[in-house]
A and B are shown apart, each in its own frame.
Chain A
Amino acid sequence: MTNYLVQASNLHKNFGSVHAVNGVDLNVKSGEIYGLVGSDGAGKTTTMRLLVGALLPTQGEVSICGYDLQTHVELARSTIGYLSQRFSMYEDLTVLENIRFFAEIRGLSSSEWLPRSMEILEFVGLSNFKDRRAGQLSGGMKQKLGLASALVTRPRLLLLDEPTTGVDPVTRQDFWQLVIKLVSQSIPDSPPIFGENGGMPEGQGGGVSVIISTPYMDEASRCHRVGFMKAGKIIAEDTPSNLRARLNGRVLELRGNPINTLRHAAHQDQDVEDVAAFGDKLHVRIREGKSDLVIKRLSDQIKSVGATITELRVIPPALEDVFIALSESNHD
């Protein structure tokens, strides 16, 4: 038996001659936060829309909670909460009326949705604003309302398509704390947030799964597992720490004056693969096993041209370093 909540195999979606999704395999476990990371046009949103059944794949199969999306689309969809990039809400309706609307179109009766909505509003921190018109909410609160609306059917799978675009880091942090709590709260010995069993079928130990798409590395680093998408394919997939470990010992931080001389010197070194400027410092990627050699050689070289080094050391690689290294090795 498998414990994957989402299973997608060999997914393809063509729009005319454009291969928006070009052979994606995706398996997401119960209780997992999976990040689809890539730029606009990499195929993230199309993949999301294939997973909710809003688009039919040109080829490939998807099953959600064991329901085949082609043959049991309604059952599959009933397990999904979806927050799109531009989620719709009625600005003239209050917070609670908006949730009611979403609940009723999903076929919930008022004896079901009302207590549940209050629980959810409490959870996202909007219970004091339930009678406020949605149009009067701040950006962060609108986002929480979107999340609340997506949660009202007690989904087992939450799909969040770039949910934090355009919101500030404090709001983003709050949003993420909610998402992580949602996933980690359904562990057996903690009280479920949404009623008995947390809405989970009996005997299913795991909790809500989340698939989130983002172009930002600081968000990717909060996911349990990350899939890097490029040109419709997932080019690498692992936990953030395993992904970072791929470049362990191969990223140097270089700081000093004048920075342009340092950059030039680093570019010249035969064992340097990449030099990236970050404001007041450089990140230098080194060929496998050559770090000690390069540190020695680079400091001699820089001193010989009269520039100064204030810092030159191996640093823990960032996800951004890994992403760039991967993109370079995947040029078609």
Chain B
Amino acid sequence: MTEPVIVVENLTRKFGNFVAVDHINFEVQPGEVIGYLGPNGSGKTTTIRMLLGLLKPSDGKATVLGYDVFKQSEEIRMRVGYMSQKFAIYDDLTTLENLTFYGGVYGINDKARIQHTLELVGLNGHENTLTSSLSTGWRQRLSLGIALVHEPKLLFLDEPTSGVDPTARRLFWDLIYQLAESGVTILVTTHYMDEAEYCERVAVMRDGKLLAMDTPTNLKKSIITGDVWEVFAHPLEKGLEVLTAMDGVERVGLAGDHLRVISSRARTEQSRSVGKDTMQSLLSEKGISVEKIERGEPTLEDVFLSLAR
């Protein structure tokens, strides 16, 4: 087997008495696409900053591409790429000029390599376009190109496709998968489940702890152990009240024109979990009219909300 790209062992960071990252452990293999999720203040950014060697761990250790994050941070930074929404693209430069500029920052002056990067992100033919006139989707490709110009083995992406529609997002991710196939490892931090669904494995952090790390499918199975129901009832708010108080109901949320109910897992064979009929009769009993109750599919958002609360 090949060496893991990231190895994190008991990694911890304290700021005074506050434990921002609390003894986390994980490994990432080459070519994996990992999603890193958590509410604001959960320790996501602190973890990434330690992995980039920008912040010293208080305890534990981590290696990235075989290098110690603290002792060999220069080696790491030469070999990782970073793309963020806040990343500066010079609007009054062309795409080629932007790439050439950032290539220069990494000491890359090879024109062929810059041209290759341009083609990789599909911007060939747009070399001389001023970046101010690019659409958001194209700008994101340019940002990706800038993060890739020094041919990193590991790529950090921070909400890489925020603000674009699913078509542009799909095209961008096709590119990411292509990179992953060629052996580049990718770590995506995001608040958007639309993005997280694209990752092969997803890690969820809360209060500095790594709560779970698995494929989206396995997370849905292991975290959402009950059933998901879509309940169309009137009045909605009263339905929310009644179902929230109901035995065997884990969580109820308002979902626009209906309620989304997640039941707890049945403890024994006899005590069946909350079903269509039991909800129907309880709601009718309380004078709430039920239009229909349908089975729903668990989403990554359900997983996130169950873990993050």
Contacts and interface: CB of A to CB of B under 8 A. Distances in A.
Interface of A: 33, 37-42, 138-140, 165-173, 176-177, 180-181, 184-185, 187, 189-190, 215-218, 221-224, 230, 239-240, 255, 260, 276-281, 315-316, 320, 323-324, 327-328
A273 to B, nearest CB: 13
A39 B165 contact: yes
Contact of B297 (A39, A278, A316): A316
Contacts of B166: 217, 320, 323-324, 327
A171 B39 contact: yes
A50 to B, nearest CB: 20
A140 B309 CA distance: 15
Contact of A222 (B38, B216, B256): B256
A39 B235 contact: no
Contacts of A315: 297
Residue of A167, A180, A190, A230 with highest tally of chain B CB at under 10 A:
A180
Interface in B213-264: 215-217, 234-238, 253-257
A215 B33 CA distance: 23
A255 B35 CA distance: 19
Contact of B165 (A38, A223, A239): A38
The bracket for how many chain B residues form the interface is 35 or more
Contact of A177 (B181, B194, B253): B253
A251 B136 CA distance: 28
A169 B304 CA distance: 8
B297 to A, nearest CB: 6
A280 B215 contact: yes
A276 B170 CA distance: 8
Interface in B53-87: none
Given A170-B309, A189-B235, A280-B216, A42 B165 contact: yes
A164 to B, nearest CB: 9
A323 B239 CA distance: 31
Q: Nearest 3 A-B pairs (CB), nearest first?
A: A39-B165, A40-B136, A180-B254
A6 B237 CA distance: 25
B288 to A, nearest CB: 11
A180 B256 contact: yes
Given A39-B165, A165-B163, A167-B40, A190 B237 contact: yes
Interface in B26-60: 33, 35, 37-41
B299 A218 contact: yes
| Majority SS at the chain B contact face | mixed
A169 B39 contact: yes
B165 A167 contact: no
B266 interface: no
Nearest to A166: B191
Contact of A169 (B202, B235, B255, B301): B301
Contacts of A33: 256-257
A215 B297 CA distance: 22
Given A184-B237, A327-B167, A168 B254 contact: no
Interface of B: 33, 35, 37-41, 135-137, 159, 162-168, 170, 173-174, 177, 181, 191-194, 197-202, 215-217, 234-238, 253-257, 297, 299, 301, 304-305, 308-309
A281 B163 CA distance: 24
Contacts of B163: 39-40, 165, 215
Given A39-B163, A281-B217, A324-B170, A168 B38 contact: yes
A279 B254 CA distance: 28
A277 B200 CA distance: 10
A224 B173 CA distance: 29
Nearest to A321: B166
A190 B238 contact: yes
A156 B163 CA distance: 28
A218 B217 contact: no
A310 to B, nearest CB: 10
Given A40-B136, A224-B257, A239-B257, 11 more contacts: A37-B165, A39-B168, A168-B308, A170-B309, A187-B235, A221-B255, A260-B181, A278-B216, A280-B215, A320-B166, A323-B167
B251 to A, nearest CB: 10
A218 B194 contact: yes
Nearest to A224: B257
A169 B200 contact: no
A171 B308 CA distance: 11
A192 B67 CA distance: 61
A216 B197 CA distance: 13
B237 A39 contact: no
Given A279-B197, A280-B216, A171 B254 contact: no
Residue of B202, B255, B297 with highest tally of chain A CB at under 10 A:
B255
A168 B191 contact: yes
Contacts of B136: 39-41
A177 B254 contact: yes
Contacts of A190: 235, 237-238
Contact of B308 (A170, A221, A323, A327): A170
A157 B259 CA distance: 23
